[in-house]
Structure 1
């Protein structure tokens, strides 16, 4: 080993004339330093390899994160659009709710006004019925009745209370009943008056100008209207005369009593409802 080292040193010295002879110790130190540098180089290469691997991993993770970020960004944009749309819908719905709430309050106020008007009408109708029942008390056993139907007062008088058989001329007893009725109606000027004539289903025979039950029902109705306006001085503008013939019976039977009930004059009294109609039209 020493011989090889001496030969190596001699060869080196001969090859390089300016070279200084190196001692074995120094040579070993150089060799050791070389080996140390070689180990460090290897370690550094390993470190570089690790760093490259980490760099590649970080690039991969960065790409994944960028992909996730873009996805989240897109999701955020979509959610933001949905939020904007929902917020717009909410504002529109809120405005509609406020509008409907305001409209509901107005309708409730109108409903209250209509209910109050109906209540006043019912009170007036009941009061009118009481007054008529008291005024016509003496005629109620002779075929007169006072009832309320659909917010109106019906004064029903059988034909025998007003007319002789087959006649359209009011007799004395009938005039007394109409006089008592007129006393109340002349005080209650806000009452509309409809006079309806009704007959039974037996055909009219040999009554001169009266051709049939239509004629009889209408002419009896107009006779009552004439008496109330010409004698009792009720304003004609308040009255309406109609004839229903045999087609609105109150008793569908074929007996004599049924026919007696069906031959009648109905005086229908209803409070003027202009205020109520105006409320409903609003």
Structure 2
């Protein structure tokens, strides 16, 4: 590139030569004039190239600034899940390193050839494609997070509903215990107890209250207790009743009519109690008689006192949990 002062000096020199040497020929003058025109044309070309280079430098500076701003904005959006975050940080570290190199080489790149500029353009395009893929990955993970949040909200609603139903069930069980206990007031606590276990009401009646030894016929006092219990349960439409007969570990006497072992004795006693409850007005569809023989003792000892505890009938009252099961069945 030829500077303006140089052109001025060249013109002055030419003019001075012509003035001082009046013998200069027209041909030589014309040659110098042509040389001056060429120099001015070259000057104009240089100024055009300079303006173009300046414009290109400004455009590249603007692109670098925009990419830097875009990178900073992207960095603020990468607070996502753990694995995605680590991957994103790694990608951004690489990207930051690349940008640092770009900034350091900025001045040098301004003077590089068209080939180097093309290479830079391809590199920037590749980075933009990486950023595009990263954005797509972030959008996908954001969608997954939104779906997880929706699922979590749904599960929380189910859990709240489940807790509500369980709370109502506990209230119902306690109310049922109170009602049964009030109905059976007056009976000896050693012969009849009402307790709540595992969300169920257990009415335990001793053998002394219900049966004579080895018999399956309920005594009058026991029938009175069962009728009172049936009256208390008549309006409890959402309660299932299981009658469990229990014996001690002493086998039934050989030759006892209709019984081979304690299984028969426990089942027959449970069945007899079920008949009394249904004859007192309790719906048969709600009652299930069963016998457990000696297999579920209250006291495993072999003493007379322990065996007396084990000879009992347990009437188990279980609230229906249809609404609860429906919630649990929902996927």
TM-score bucket of the superposed structures, by smaller chain = 0.7 to 0.9
Q: 1:226 aligns with which of 275, 278, 282?
A: 275
Unaligned runs of 5+ in 1: 1-28, 34-59
Query: Does the 8 Å contact 1:142/1:161 carry over to 2?
Result: no
Q: Which stretch of structure 1 is more off in the superposition, 231-240 or 92-101?
A: 92-101
Say if 1:218 and 1:65 are closer, same or farther in 2 by CA, change over 3 A. Answer: farther
3-state DSSP class of the match of 1:187? coil
Give the match for residue 209 of structure 1: 258
Q: 2:321 aligns with which of 256, 266, 273?
A: 273
What's the offset of the Cα at 1:187?
Answer: 2.5
Spell out the pairing of 1:103-182 with structure 2 (5 A cutoff): 103-182=151-230
1:120-171 CA-to-partner distances (Å, cap 9, x unmatched) read: 1100100111111121121243421111111110001111211110011111
Spell out the pairing of 1:32-111 with structure 2 (5 A cutoff): 69-111=117-159
| CA distance in structure 1 between the partners assigned to 2:179 and 2:245 by the alignment | 23
What's the offset of the Cα at 1:84?
Answer: 1.5
Q: 2:300 aligns with which of 226, 248, 252?
A: 252
List structure 1 segments (4+ residues) > 6 angstroms apart after TM superposition.
Answer: 60-63
Query: Does the 8 Å contact 1:200/1:246 carry over to 2?
Result: yes
TM-score between the two structures when normalised by the length of structure 2 = 0.64
- For the aligned residue pairs, the C-alpha RMSD in angstroms reads 2.8
| CA distance in structure 2 between the partners assigned to 1:81 and 1:242 by the alignment | 73
Query: Does the 8 Å contact 1:195/1:241 carry over to 2?
Result: yes
Give the match for residue 8 of structure 1: none
Aligned residues: 233
Query: Does the 8 Å contact 1:198/1:262 carry over to 2?
Result: yes
3-state DSSP class of the match of 1:138? coil
Query: Does the 8 Å contact 2:230/2:277 carry over to 1?
Result: yes
| CA distance in structure 1 between the partners assigned to 2:226 and 2:318 by the alignment | 17
What's the offset of the Cα at 1:70?
Answer: 4.7
